[in-house]
Amino acid sequence: MAELMYWEAIRRAHDEEMTRDPLVICMGEDIGVAGGTYKATKGLYDKYGPERVIDTPISENGFTGLGIGASFLGVRPVIEIMSVNFAWLAMDQIFNTAAKVRYMSGGQLTAPIVVRSPGGTAHQLGAQHSARMEKVFMGIAGLRVVTPSTPKQAYGLLKAAIRCEDPVFINEHELMYNLKGDVPNEEFFHPLEGSEVVREGRDVTLFGYNISVHWALQAAEVLSKQHGIEAEVVDLYALSPLDCSGIAASVSKTHRVVIVEEAEPAVGVGSEVMAIINEACFFELDAAPQRVSAVNVPIPYNRQMEKAALPTVRDVVDVVLAQVAK
């Protein structure tokens, strides 16, 4: 095992896949000479040159469309959109072309592209740089959506995504790039579908994804040490398709559910998980599923107001205690 930061794991996956296949390229703003805003492509420009590590203009719709077109001809582009907030500008290309071309062409064309983009609320970046857009992407048929919560996942999911014949959107979190974790020294590929039980429990299931997995783990520790409640924590690293059988299996084991998400609750991951539970295992529940989510407002710039708009570990603990008391 090697201890790597999240960004180092992403960079390693990039490097290995570019070494293996000359048709793997990278495109995005400041990914070349500057090495990427979050260092995920650091050093690749010097190693592979400007034809494979391409610094683009500030034109998300343009360079995303260019990458998708290249993928029709066998190129394997990894497109980095500097912030998921800017992905709004590339949605036409991602949603109307990449996600639909296999079906609209009767299988004659595929778009084996990867779009990587950091999102989430960092520290005082303001409403226009703090979007949580995973729920938008996961609603698009034909597009895979994954969101790594550890360096190991970041490495394995990127490698699997590059070799996938489907378009894959990888939702990273801005606060996690310096997160450290063990990554196997040998090459491996993480499944693009499924979920992972990262803590076993019997009393309640906490569902999370990317950064909220860590909040759920912290809450589970508090619940165990202070209240004797053993929470199971499930990492929903694949948001599209969601792991319906994995969700149902954990609910059938614990009979209580809390979904933890950083995003606003409306039309979100928590809503979809609740729908799956309602359809697949409603009669396994001992209490109504609940969500711990952000307040439904644009994220404020003021630091104290920003914190007040976001869910906390204490919020998770309080919701679980109220559920168990019923």
Residue 220 burial (CB count, 10 A): 26
Clarify whether residues 166 and 229 are in a common domain.
no
Clarify whether residues 162 and 54 are in a common domain.
yes
- What is the extent of the structural domain holding 137? 2-183
Evaluate if residue 215 carries a pLDDT over 90.
Answer: yes
Evaluate if residue 317 carries a pLDDT over 80.
Answer: yes
Clarify whether residues 153 and 209 are in a common domain.
no
Clarify whether residues 39 and 170 are in a common domain.
yes
Residue 191 lies in a domain: no
- Contact indicator for 229, 204 with CB cutoff of 8 Å: yes
Clarify whether residues 128 and 14 are in a common domain.
yes
Clarify whether residues 288 and 172 are in a common domain.
no
Average per-residue pLDDT for the chain: 96
Clarify whether residues 234 and 312 are in a common domain.
yes
The tens digit of pLDDT for each residue in 240-271 reads 999 999 999 999 999 999 999 999 999 999 99
Residue 252 lies in a domain: yes
DSSP string spanning 82-124? S-GGGGGGGHIIIIIIITTHHHHTTTS-----EEEEEES--SS
pLDDT at 1: 86
Domains in the chain, number:
2
Among 129, 173, 190, 214, the active-site one is 129
pLDDT band at 64 (very low <50, low <70, confident <90, very high): very high
Q: Is the pTM of this model over 0.85?
A: yes
Among 8, 17, 29, 60, the active-site one is 60
Residue 129 lies in a domain: yes
Residue 188 lies in a domain: no
Clarify whether residues 314 and 213 are in a common domain.
yes
pLDDT at 123: 87
284 among known catalytic residues:
no
Evaluate if residue 326 carries a pLDDT over 90.
Answer: no
Compute the average pLDDT of residues 161-165. Answer: 98
Range 312-318, long-range pairs (CB < 8 A, 24+ positions): 312/215, 313/215, 313/218, 313/219, 313/222, 316/206, 316/215, 316/216, 316/219, 316/258, 316/260, 316/292, 317/219, 317/222, 317/223
Higher pLDDT, 128 or 261: 261
Evaluate if residue 165 carries a pLDDT over 80.
Answer: yes
Clarify whether residues 221 and 123 are in a common domain.
no
pLDDT band at 325 (very low <50, low <70, confident <90, very high): confident
190 among known catalytic residues:
no
Clarify whether residues 11 and 140 are in a common domain.
yes
Compute the average pLDDT of residues 185-210. Answer: 98
